[in-house]
A = this chain, B = another copy of it.
Amino acid sequence: MNIVTPRRPSGFPEYLPADQIEFNRMLSVIAEVYNLFGFTPVETPAIELAEVLLAKGGGDTEKEIYRFTKGEKEYALHYDLTVPLARYVSEHQNDLAMPFRRYQIQKNWRAERAQKGRFREFVQCDVDVIGSNSVLHDAEIVSVVSNVFDRLEIGKYIIRISNRKLLAGFVEAIGLESKTNDVLHLVDKLDKIGSDALTVELEKIRLTKEDTEQIIDFVSITGSPKEVLEQLEGLSIENTIFKSGMSEMQELLFTLTAANVKPDCYSFDLRIVRGLDYYTGTVYETNLIEFPEFGSVCSGGRYNDLTKYYSTADLPGVGISIGLTRLFAALQEVNKISNKIASPSRVLITQFGNKKVLARAVEVASELRAKMINTQVYLDEAKLDKQFKYADKLGVPYVIVIGEAELESNKLVLKNMSTGDQSVVTLTEVVELLEI
């Protein structure tokens, strides 16, 4: 037999059980919060028709797309969840209640250059509201993100919020309308390059020193959200786009306050622009306070015309995406993934070859499972010592031992694997202890 070395292509992560369990816990938290806000789950095929997936053209991403021909069709694996959402909403719009609130947690594929923190297969957790212009949805998205990161328990975070209309309106107001896109793209780099380099870059696109200073001053406004809005008002900018952005930010703040979103978990930050051209209003990025080097772990914003390549319907939307594969890898890197439990079992029941003991072990397991207690029976012939080692390797918290004496007395020996405490108990007592 010719043995092939078992291996994966680079950029395609997979986890050992303990990490997979922790990864799944994080996925469940995210899905639970999305459900909590009444977003409905959607799943689209991994494979789309290339002609449909690439309707808008792939731009820079196009060469990263996995595409192939099979039979007479050309197919492509989706590289994000936004294009499939646009296709889904367009295809099914007559069957969906609008506004359509959906979440989608799936793998995506991009043939990026393999490097640390970059994956070719990665899970994104997207949540969007389609079919409404109301900025109240934009505010709710902040509540969703805040709820997710509170429950993930990976430390303090800050949701940085802006509205592209503010900077765009300001740039227009100072007479630089023709350079709006360039300015927004450059400001988007500010976090990475710093304000000195931004100054150089702005001068490269032929802004005067004064204009450059004005822009740097504008995006450097800080303070509480209320203070930021007050300072912006103080600028007395007479520009329709800017004013529209102001009123949206005011409504956003009003709603966040009403919803009791903790004030220390979000900020109004004019440096947030999001590079992608399709954002048209509110934009978000989220950083972990303890790990600024991770960059934004949850980003998004409001966009118009999601479906313009597939439908003439006017369907604006707002949403965010959490890149869980990337976040998880970053947390592993800083040793923040500490789960060592490699089994969902709450208890392992040992047994010896004796048929009566086996029968009792299997019966006890059935009764525990009927109470929804995850239970494993050791089903191979092995010394008790080996069975305990196995439980220990899996990280199972409790072990039940049944011997001849316990068969007689109809009791069980229960061992707490972390304390080493051992006691003789009834099945009812085990259920009371382990029931959730």
Contacts and interface: CB of A to CB of B under 8 A. Distances in A.
Interface of A: 1-9, 12-17, 20-21, 24, 35-49, 51-52, 55, 66-68, 70-71, 73, 75, 77, 86-88, 90-92, 95-97, 99, 101-102, 107, 109, 111, 120-121, 132, 134, 136-137, 140, 143, 147, 254-255, 258-260, 307-312, 342-345, 348, 355, 358-360, 362-363, 365-366, 369, 372-377, 379-381, 390, 393-394, 396
Contact of A147 (B8, B46, B71, B369): B369
A225 to B, nearest CB: 16
A180 to B, nearest CB: 22
A4 B50 CA distance: 11
B260 A366 contact: yes
Given A8-B87, A38-B345, A260-B363, 13 more contacts: A3-B311, A6-B86, A7-B49, A9-B73, A16-B96, A38-B344, A38-B376, A46-B107, A71-B111, A97-B394, A99-B380, A136-B358, A254-B359
Nearest to A12: B45
Nearest to A33: B369
Contact of A344 (B40, B96, B109, B360): B40
A34 to B, nearest CB: 8
A38 B134 contact: no
Nearest to A39: B344
Contacts of A99: 379-380
Which 3 pairs show the lowest CB-CB distances between chains A and B? A38-B376, A68-B68, A38-B345
Contacts of A90: 6
Contact of A121 (B7, B9, B45, B102): B45
Nearest to A131: B380
A26 to B, nearest CB: 13
B4 A310 contact: yes
